[in-house]
Amino acid sequence: MPHDTPRRRAAARSVPDAWALLALLPMAGVLLIVGTLAAMAQGTTVAHAFSYFGTPKYGPDFAHLDYANPDAPKAGEIAISVQSGTFDSFNPYSRKGVPGALASVPIERLMESTADEIGTSYCLICETLEYPDDQSWAIFTIRPEARFSDGTRVTADDVVFTHELFMEQGLPSFREGVARIIEKVEALDEDRVKFTFREDSTRRDRIEQAGSTPVMSRAWMEANAYRLDESNDTPILGTGAYVLDSYETNQRIVYRRNPDYWATDLPLMKGRSNFETIRVEYFADADAAFEGFKAGAYTFREENSSKQWATGYGFDAVTNGSVIKAELPDGAQASGQAFVFNLRREKFDDIRVREAIARMFNFEWSNETLFYGLYARTRGFAGNSYNEATGKPSAEELAVLEPLADILPEGVLTDAVVMPPVSGARQLDRGQLRAASALLDEAGWPVGDDGIRRNAAGETLKVEFLEYSTAFDRVVQPFVENLKALGVDASLNRVDTAQYIERSRSFDYDIITDQLSIGYEAGSGLEQQFGSAEAEFSLFNPAGIAHPAVDALIKLASGAETRDDMIAAMKALDRTMRALKFVTPQWFKDVHTVAYYDMFEHAETIAPYDLGYLDYWWYDAAKHEALRASGALR
């Protein structure tokens, strides 16, 4: 049987024969056939998956994902930790309150991506999607078995309701982004929902945006007067595999697998969501969390501290094999983790100020002294992927960049891509100090008699690093000390999680740590992260970057009709944003550093784009009993 694909053209019938039937039908039948023939003439695709640039890896008759074990038992508990110390809500979509960990786990979307493929979405709540050649609309047919966790059926009206709810009460940046793509959503009947797209929207975004629509129950949301823009200690009713079981505020949250989860045997979900319960333990800080792991208070830890990884895992449970310490391959694009300048602050308008500050972060010393040599330097916004710019612009990049020559940052067309500054073995690199000093002098921030830099108005060059984790103190403090040597009035302000969330959401900061990557395929998310239109209010644009060349490149990348053209535009985007120097790149590693009690299993090959320990790993009851018998676990 031939497989449907996103490029298949459904025109198998004989059009002349169909027209000949018109004379034999009543008018209602004539109108029905005319509508069908119009659709056939345009060419429509009915498919189980969508990929803009190619053919999905998994055909419509696939049995299960390659990295999932269809025979994995549905049993046991996995316990993880959170170091933020607090939560007061289970609504993950509101700016108000601090949502509990995994608060969005009950919510599923119409379509879902996989962890071993880029750029493809597969029907989850939908059974099929249908769209014409011009992708001016898409119709999703809801699976008849799709159920909310209370057992009620998912309908097309629930999809319409959820879309309208987000457009009324969702984050402004989300509403703005979706409104540029989706013109309207309507239920054609109980099972089919139609998305009509704006004519001026980028085709690349359309079906992907529609397919990513979360699905909530109209009946439940209205009965509970639930608002997306308000904090709420009740989780939203969804269709997902897990529901809230119990919680103790600021201590723990337990999610329980729904035994009647509707998609258990669906090929896309087979061998996934395998744990009976997921427990989240809260700790006040990183040190307390690590001690909790050693004591068996939780059972799986993804280690983010290079110091702990290098020096902290000599305890008995590791040496006797009760705890597995492993480095597992990570093929994902680097996160783009960086110190991010808030360009909404006037003092950062001058690129020379930003470059001077960046030169005072000594990655080489930090990596050797603080990180035990475990990290590589983040270079830009697409590291460890095919979208990363290297060297001078290629011919393909120049074809994209040259028409924008008048608005590009200096050197983008002619010079090698901007790389982070390289420092020496001492914390304060004298060469970088001299270079940074010259830049600030040129920018109008000379050093006064007291050693502090001020501008012509007498204002001190103050720079505050806003953080919430104690783990960053040992990294940021040397940076602060180097800046003070430069004459900058620098400080580290570590606040609690609630304060950090409030200040970051209201853009009340100078510099924060965030992750800014452009991803693998261009889409509307780029505009939310880096576009001018939403720079003043988008929570996804912490830098507030707004530049015409960036806007133009985002448009070109999003509108590319071939993968090669998109990659050329994405490389040009990475190159251009690196030249704007609105971040100070930090570090990354291409492995997952994990430690876990030896009672969890995974497929022999880890999925390249997601470690997936809450997704496709599973529990071994015999190993758990052995750990209990040995006293390694209570």
> 365 with 264, same domain?
no
Q: Which residue has the tokens 């994990």?
A: 594
> 279 with 426, same domain?
no
pLDDT tens per residue across span 156-213: 999 999 999 999 999 887 888 899 999 999 999 999 999 999 999 988 889 999 999 9
> 583 with 622, same domain?
no
The residue that leads in pLDDT, 254 or 17, is 254
For 87, how many CA atoms within 13 A lie in the half-sphere containing its CB?
Answer: 27
Confidence of residue 260 (pLDDT cuts 50, 70, 90): very high
Q: Which two tokens stand for residue 56?
A: 């999905």
Q: Which two tokens stand for residue 317?
A: 């449970």
> 472 with 431, same domain?
yes
Cβ count near 609 (within 10 Å):
18
Angle formed at CA 69 by CA 64 and CA 70, multiple of 5 degrees:
60
Cβ count near 345 (within 10 Å):
15
Q: Which two tokens stand for residue 45?
A: 């695709």
> 355 with 446, same domain?
yes
Contact 228, 93 (CB under 8 A): yes
For residues 238 and 147, what is the distance between their CA atoms, to the nearest angstrom?
9
Nearest CA-CA partner of 362 in 453, 431, 298, 456: 431
For residues 489 and 118, what is the distance between their CA atoms, to the nearest angstrom?
45
Nearest CA-CA partner of 207 in 523, 572, 579: 523
How is 339-359 classified by DSSP, letter by letter?
EEE-TTSGGG-SHHHHHHHHT
Examine residue 126 and state whether it is found in any structural domain, yes or no. Answer: no
Contact 597, 299 (CB under 8 A): yes
β partners of residue 464: 491
How is 566-634 classified by DSSP, letter by letter?
HHHHHHHHHHHHHHHT-EEE-EE-SEEEEEEES-EE--SS--TT---TTTT-EE-HHHHHHHHHHTS--
* Averaged pLDDT, 328-353: 95
The residue that leads in pLDDT, 504 or 14, is 504
Examine residue 164 and state whether it is found in any structural domain, yes or no. Answer: no
Residue 568 scores a pLDDT above 80: yes
How many structural domains compose the chain?
Answer: 3
% of the chain exceeding 90 in pLDDT = 82
For residues 101 and 281, what is the distance between their CA atoms, to the nearest angstrom?
10
Q: Which residue has the tokens 């031939």?
A: 2
- The pLDDT value given to residue 93: 93
CA distances from 131 to 143, 181, 193, 311 (A): 17, 15, 12, 55
> 500 with 412, same domain?
yes
> 469 with 526, same domain?
yes
For residues 612 and 78, what is the distance between their CA atoms, to the nearest angstrom?
12
Nearest CA-CA partner of 491 in 470, 461, 447: 461
* Averaged pLDDT, 476-493: 98
Residue 509 scores a pLDDT above 90: yes
| Dihedral sign for Cα atoms in the order 107, 108, 110, 115 | positive
Question: Crossing angle, helix 203-211 and helix 548-559, to 10 degrees?
Answer: 80
> 275 with 387, same domain?
no
Sheet containing strand 583-585, strands side by side? 489-494, 462-467, 511-515, 337-341, 583-585
pLDDT tens per residue across span 365-401: 999 999 999 999 999 999 999 999 999 999 999 999 9
Examine residue 385 and state whether it is found in any structural domain, yes or no. Answer: yes
With the CA atoms of 64, 67, 70 and 74 taken in that order, what torsion angle do they form, in degrees rounded to the nearest 10?
Answer: -130
Q: Beta strands 126-132 and 137-142: pairing type?
A: antiparallel
> 416 with 513, same domain?
yes
Examine residue 488 and state whether it is found in any structural domain, yes or no. Answer: yes
Length of the chain: 634
pLDDT tens per residue across span 95-151: 888 899 999 999 999 999 999 999 999 999 999 999 999 999 999 999 999 999 999
Examine residue 265 and state whether it is found in any structural domain, yes or no. Answer: yes
Residue 522 scores a pLDDT above 90: no
Contact 298, 82 (CB under 8 A): no
> 310 with 448, same domain?
no
β partners of residue 326: 594
> 381 with 361, same domain?
yes
Helix (H) or strand (E) segment spanning residue 466 = strand 462-467
With the CA atoms of 559, 140, 54 and 263 taken in that order, what torsion angle do they form, in degrees rounded to the nearest 10?
Answer: 130
- The pLDDT value given to residue 42: 57
Examine residue 204 and state whether it is found in any structural domain, yes or no. Answer: no
For residues 155 and 485, what is the distance between their CA atoms, to the nearest angstrom?
63
Classified as helix, coil or strand, 124 is coil
pLDDT tens per residue across span 5-59: 332 222 222 223 332 333 333 433 333 333 334 444 458 999 999 999 989 999 9
pLDDT tens per residue across span 422-445: 999 999 999 999 999 999 999 999
pLDDT tens per residue across span 270-289: 999 999 999 999 998 889 99
- The pLDDT value given to residue 37: 40
For residues 305 and 634, what is the distance between their CA atoms, to the nearest angstrom?
26
Nearest CA-CA partner of 415 in 582, 550, 585, 579: 579
Q: pTM for this one?
A: 0.83
Range of the domain at 81: 77-86+236-331+591-630
- The pLDDT value given to residue 21: 32
Confidence of residue 596 (pLDDT cuts 50, 70, 90): very high
Examine residue 34 and state whether it is found in any structural domain, yes or no. Answer: yes
How is 509-547 classified by DSSP, letter by letter?
-SEEEEE----SS--HHHHHHH-STTTTT-TT-TT----
Examine residue 195 and state whether it is found in any structural domain, yes or no. Answer: no
β partners of residue 47: 129
Classified as helix, coil or strand, 24 is helix
Residue 452 scores a pLDDT above 60: yes
> 387 with 324, same domain?
no
For residues 277 and 593, what is the distance between their CA atoms, to the nearest angstrom?
23
In eight-state DSSP terms, residue 237 is P
* Averaged pLDDT, 344-355: 97
